[in-house]
Amino acid sequence: MLKVIRQPLFILGFMTIFLMTLASIIHATHFDSAIPQTEWLRDSEGNMIAGPPLEPTKDYPLGTDEFGYHMLEKLVQGAKYTFGAAFLTSLLGFSLSFLFGVLLAFWKKEGSKNVIKGLSSSFYFVPQSIIAYNILHPILWESPQGFAYSLTERVVYQIVMMALILAPTTALLIAEEVRDILKEEFIETAITLGATPFHIFRKHVIPHLRPRLFIIFPRLVVQVLLIIAHLGIFQIYFGGTSVCYDVFCDPPMPIANEWSGLLGMYIKQINYHWWLAVGPLACFTISILAINSMAAGIEKGLTPAKAYSGRRWFWKKRTTKSVSGPAYSVTEEDFVRVRNDANSSAYF
């Protein structure tokens, strides 16, 4: 793991996610999650010259929303919710995928294995965001009578459902990795010597599978972030979508300043109030790039150096020396006469 920690790509990605999360936590603990508000823009004489939403300036780098709240602070406040949801969902989905992937790899009945593999492979072709939308909409979209479940129940339901949606494809990937390990010669030798499947899994599969698991998990976090962002565009916000059914109402609102909620609210205004949607889009983009950078650093750090020996910025010309004859000649003086016994002698 020391090689991973020293990788520049891993350090860059980790520090980006860490600083964004730390800023969000500090904003909550030291500033009480307060969001500054600028209702009107005034000149030096105190005259009102502009109203919200205000374009980005040095006082509010990402502008303000239609109520005058600063977008930068709203994004900082929502970082902890977004990352918390993404990592909890990824951890649960990864655990389920690991369990079912290993069981599928050790499963000996080919008929049932092919059925399970075929059903799981269908998730490659159906967009996961569409599946998540149809499953989560009845629970997370507020009805005229209000939410049928509490906030905690809605959050748990969303995390579990998204984890189950991600599990099949990831389980197939882990099963393929385990299956490749089981084809190695040392596995056949262990089976011949009478090793049990549990012994093979614990002593042989896990040590070889562990590096791949460290690479798979960050990719899973990226998938969760993409699903959350897509659901936000569909106005299915994390934890629930607050909907007003009166005559004069605001559009559907999120229950917190989570990034997908901000993206879903302002994506339609990108043509005339572009800064409202650019902030959440930039946060998602930077986060995904940072996590991919961490995954690349992990992969490079855990891969043997020989795998990267051919990747050079220049090619060194190979030189060969031809030997036309022996480098020296052997003469009788090179041998020393020694005596083994009183009657015999030998050359060495």
pLDDT the model gives residue 192: 81
Contact by Cβ (8 Å): 282, 62? no
pLDDT of residue 110: 63
Q: What is the mean pLDDT of residues 336-348?
A: 47
Q: What is the pLDDT of residue 319?
A: 43
* Angstrom distance (rounded) from CA 305 to CA 312: 13
| Cβ contact 303:215 at 8 Å | no
Question: Which pLDDT score is estimated for 251?
Answer: 85
Strand partners, 51: none
Please write the tens of the pLDDT for every residue from 44-102: 776 777 778 888 888 888 989 888 899 999 999 999 999 999 999 999 999 999 999 88
Both tokens of 219, joined, read 């990719």
**Helical (H) or strand (E) element with 42:** strand 41-42
**Domains identified in the chain and CATH numbers:** 2-25+76-307 (1.10.3720.10)
Name which residue leads in pLDDT, 20 or 336. Answer: 20
Q: What pLDDT score was predicted for residue 333?
A: 56
Over residues 19-44, mean pLDDT? 88
pLDDT in tens, 278-335: 999 999 999 999 999 999 998 888 776 544 444 443 334 444 444 444 544 555 555 5
First to last CA, the chain: 53
Residue 133 confidence class, pLDDT cut points 50, 70, 90: very high
pLDDT at 329: 54
Predicted local distance difference test score (pLDDT) of residue 190: 82
pLDDT tens-digit readout, 203-225: 888 888 888 898 899 999 999 99
* Residue 186 predicted with pLDDT over 80: yes
Rounded Cα distance between 254 and 280, Å, is 14
> Whole-prediction pTM value?
0.81
User: What one-character DSSP code corresponds to residue 149?
Assistant: S
Between CA 323 and CA 111 the distance in angstroms is 63
The pair of three-digit structure tokens given for residue 190, joined into one six-digit string = 């262990």
Residue 120: what pLDDT? 67
Cα angle, residue 340 at apex, residues 338 and 345 outer, rounded to 5°: 60
pLDDT of residue 127: 85
- As given in the structure block, the two tokens for residue 279 are 């902030």
